[in-house]
Structure 1
């Protein structure tokens, strides 16, 4: 993987010049296009150039999903996270405040003019544009084999589907918000901007999901198991994690049969096994490698000397009382774990000096061990597939399978097996909250299940709850995009 990094910046400039049409003034874009087009043609005329582009796409994806506001969004909004105090110095006592990078969205008051996730929106469409360019140039490669071309297109299609899916979760109400999913989805881009200036309208949610699924099915028909880039195989899209994404999309769509079948396929045929109970804590605490049940991790890039940067520990880690992340587990989450649940061991208490009503007090803060050391962004792992199959099985009236999958996760965690006195639907919902905490699911699970947000422990917002349905379950489209594209309609209340 290293040998491609040095070429990323050389390739990315013309891509950014092209994608600028989406986000800034494009009045002179067509005049610049001939020179820009020549540069893109030169870059993408060889297999080496396309692989450099593909590696650049992965690098930007990794940076985008590991941006602070996105990393914490679903867990913070849902109530799994609260804030650690500022570092105490000789003259100050640690105070609790909302980090500026999430201040607006945390209060359910994000602004179209200055959105906390504006860069995520623009970077996502930049990634999509890069994927489209790769797709448009790959077939003409004269120095690539048929299998290599198929694999390139499969990975680009999966990246395009994944980026659109993440955008839909942030900017479009959940699929079941309207009975026929006729509410606003997102803009779905299937052509690069080298084709000319585009002013697309938003698809419906129904059409958005159809396009995502079409891209993923197309990718699955193209995967050839050819290795394109150097590095860990779990850092790149492949047939297994593309199926894992597809099962998540089907779950979000509430297409229960396809969600069940696709998750079952991953569980049965991926060759990946659940981490054992005995190894669960140790696997998460490994400093550099992901848990063994990983299906896709956007790994930290390293330089020629092996040094890395951008660890998830920057947000969630603890090194000392003067070096720690901003986000810790709330008691709303921690109190859900039974006494013997080994997952509770992933949250370690570090008492910190905190200013409370102008007095210095020592309070307990629980930092997660999931992201210590140098971890990358966990995009897909096998535990999620069991919980997807459980939820889908329940909706298909296959209660025995739903209970079996739920208990597979519970037993591994040394938690009690499902009791008949419990609501199975609520039990699966809460198991997802416990098992997938800090991994970016919770708010979307709340919305899919049409539940309310209730944040108690550590909430320092004017709005600690949110009743479903609400326009505040999604974010505003950045104003500059609305101003440039008259066909792009803003979300309600923004």
Structure 2
């Protein structure tokens, strides 16, 4: 039975989270928080389950496609049967139109699940120091991972529900609720931090966690859990979004120089992305796909982007807005699988070509961090700290690997960096957030079926509404403007 049944209903309402799975036991058993987390194996079980919830939350199309869909890299496929019409998929329909509603938000589950993850991480952080059957190194490792997950979940919520860091000159606008105690700690009605405080709390969590990483305690592939390198990669991304260019440069450079991970070569780039079961070799963190007791995969990123046949395919494909950005010689242009699907157009059903990304076919996991992003972060941070030559060299490293034309001048280098981020990191959850933090407009062209295909920065619609359920439960939780 689920552990939240041991918590009074009032606490459950306050928690603003859905029921947790990470302490679920076999049928017929009852295990309380105190019982499960009193030993090392219980904490390991809890942390393993927590990773499963993180994977499910980011793999869901509510987050996995959000930044690329809003930014213009993605369009929709036709319905698999029946009308064959192309319409916004129901999970994101209102958000796609920049018209999500607080009372019936498309993203209620994302918000609730994010804070559920945070609460679980807090429970692990509270119980692990008390373990008597774990070494100090093991306890530090378990806590480092839980604290990094807490920072990561808060960061994702901040990206979606808060305006960018420089929306106000001192980042004094509304950030998010930052929870550092579990719901067992007592009744609280926390208010939203400022964005400045939100980022400081995320950074503090990561800076506390990173020195405590040592030896992986959990089983399974190491690339599927946070480690010192992927925690630093997260920190570099946080610094980037904070416009803390000095720290963004130093942290990304640290990962590039000291992680031991190498960029995939030009010769292997396509083959690496096309591997059916393993991540691309330059991965820093990929949340692995869930498997049953017999090793069969249930859901993966292919549920969003995959193509199996003309009657089995995902809901999202590449728009020509992204396809047309690649030179013909760019090998990344080969990372698209063109398939014809019957589509209703002006009352007639005709074959129409759609471009599925090869990044997320078969048993693809969620790509959280990989080394290419670190080069792009270092490039942007170098430019912003008056090191244009270094910035151009990093961009040319990525472009040379792609067989794209190399830059020969630092003119318009900022735009070239953002363009390279869009081409290299497409479908990995960056574009809309890149537009926001650079105060750029959204312009969605080919395939756009939204009531709003373009939106100018700044806009109150660049953030989503906090679901009404949550603002009703917490009187101190202020709603975003315009909702």
Query: Does the pair score TM above 0.5?
Result: yes
CA distance in 2, matches of 1:422, 1:96: 41
Q: CA-to-partner distance for each residue in 1:259-314, whole Å, 9 max, x for gaps?
A: 00000000000000000000000000000000000000110122221111111111
**When the two structures are superposed, what TM-score results if normalisation uses the length of structure 2?**
0.95
2:89 corresponds, among 90, 99, 102, to 99
CA distance in 1, matches of 2:3, 2:16: 19
Cα shift at 1:359 = 1.6
Q: Tell me how many residue pairs correspond in the alignment.
A: 471
Determine if contact 1:407/1:418 at 8 Å carries over to the other structure.
Answer: yes
The residue aligned with 1:352 is 341
Alignment of 1:322-361 (within 5 A): 322-361=311-350
Alignment of 1:245-394 (within 5 A): 245-394=234-383
What 5-or-longer segments of structure 2 have no aligned partner?
Answer: 19-29
The structure 1 segments of at least 4 consecutive aligned residues displaced by more than 3 Å after TM superposition are 9-20
Cα shift at 1:20 = 4.4
Residues 1:344 and 1:248: Cα distance change in structure 2 (over 3 Å):
same
The residue aligned with 1:402 is 391
Determine if contact 1:83/1:98 at 8 Å carries over to the other structure.
Answer: yes
SS of the counterpart of 1:300?
coil
The residue aligned with 1:199 is 189
What 5-or-longer segments of structure 1 have no aligned partner?
Answer: 1-8, 26-36
Determine if contact 2:17/2:116 at 8 Å carries over to the other structure.
Answer: no
Determine if contact 1:93/1:353 at 8 Å carries over to the other structure.
Answer: no
Determine if contact 2:389/2:410 at 8 Å carries over to the other structure.
Answer: no
Deviates more, 1:309-318 or 1:280-289: 309-318
Alignment of 1:183-198 (within 5 A): 183-198=173-188
1:212 corresponds, among 185, 199, 202, to 202
The residue aligned with 1:465 is 454
Residues 1:385 and 1:12: Cα distance change in structure 2 (over 3 Å):
farther
Determine if contact 1:352/1:365 at 8 Å carries over to the other structure.
Answer: yes
Determine if contact 1:19/1:126 at 8 Å carries over to the other structure.
Answer: no
The residue aligned with 2:445 is 456
Cα shift at 1:12 = 7.0
The residue aligned with 1:58 is 51
RMSD: 1.7
SS of the counterpart of 1:362?
strand
2:121 corresponds, among 102, 120, 131, to 131
Determine if contact 2:17/2:113 at 8 Å carries over to the other structure.
Answer: no
SS of the counterpart of 2:92?
helix
Alignment of 1:8-157 (within 5 A): 19-23=12-16, 39-88=32-81, 92=82, 94-157=84-147
Determine if contact 2:76/2:315 at 8 Å carries over to the other structure.
Answer: yes
The residue aligned with 2:229 is 240
Determine if contact 1:301/1:309 at 8 Å carries over to the other structure.
Answer: yes
CA distance in 1, matches of 2:238, 2:407: 27
SS of the counterpart of 1:351?
strand
Residues 1:296 and 1:486: Cα distance change in structure 2 (over 3 Å):
same
CA distance in 1, matches of 2:427, 2:356: 11
Q: CA-to-partner distance for each residue in 1:389-431, whole Å, 9 max, x for gaps?
A: 0000000010110000000000000000014385100000010
Q: CA-to-partner distance for each residue in 1:215-234, whole Å, 9 max, x for gaps?
A: 0000012112x221110000
Determine if contact 2:283/2:367 at 8 Å carries over to the other structure.
Answer: yes
Cα shift at 1:21 = 2.6
Q: CA-to-partner distance for each residue in 1:225-250, whole Å, 9 max, x for gaps?
A: x2211100001011000000000000
The residue aligned with 1:170 is 160
CA distance in 1, matches of 2:13, 2:251: 37
CA distance in 2, matches of 1:220, 1:209: 16
SS of the counterpart of 1:350?
strand
Cα shift at 1:485 = 1.0
Residues 1:270 and 1:321: Cα distance change in structure 2 (over 3 Å):
same
Cα shift at 1:13 = 5.9
**When the two structures are superposed, what TM-score results if normalisation uses the length of structure 1?**
0.93
CA distance in 2, matches of 1:15, 1:272: 44
